[in-house]
Amino acid sequence: MIKFILPAVIIFLVVLFWEKINEIIYKKFNIKINYVAFIIFLILLSVVIILLYF
C-alpha cells in the first residue's frame, strides 16, 4: 500500500510547488526546468514505446 501512496504524495508535492522548484533551479543553474522536464518526458516516452515495440 505504501508503494502506491508515497509516489502519489511525491507527485502531488512536485505539482504543488512546481513554480518554487523552477525558480530555485533557474537561480542556481540559469536554466528553465520546463525545458529539461519536457526533454526528460520525451525521452521516457520514447523508451517506453521502444520497449513496447521490441
Residue 46 is predicted with a pLDDT of: 92
Q: Indicate if the pLDDT at residue 1 is higher than 80.
A: no
Q: What pLDDT digit, counting tens, does each position of 39-49 carry?
A: 888 899 999 88
**What is the rounded CA–CA span in Å between residue 42 and residue 20?**
23
Q: What pLDDT digit, counting tens, does each position of 13-31 carry?
A: 988 988 898 888 889 888 7
Residue 16 is predicted with a pLDDT of: 92
What's the chain's average pLDDT? Answer: 85
Say if residues 30 and 37 touch (Cβ distance below 8 Å).
no
Q: How many Å is the maximal CA-CA distance in the chain? A: 42
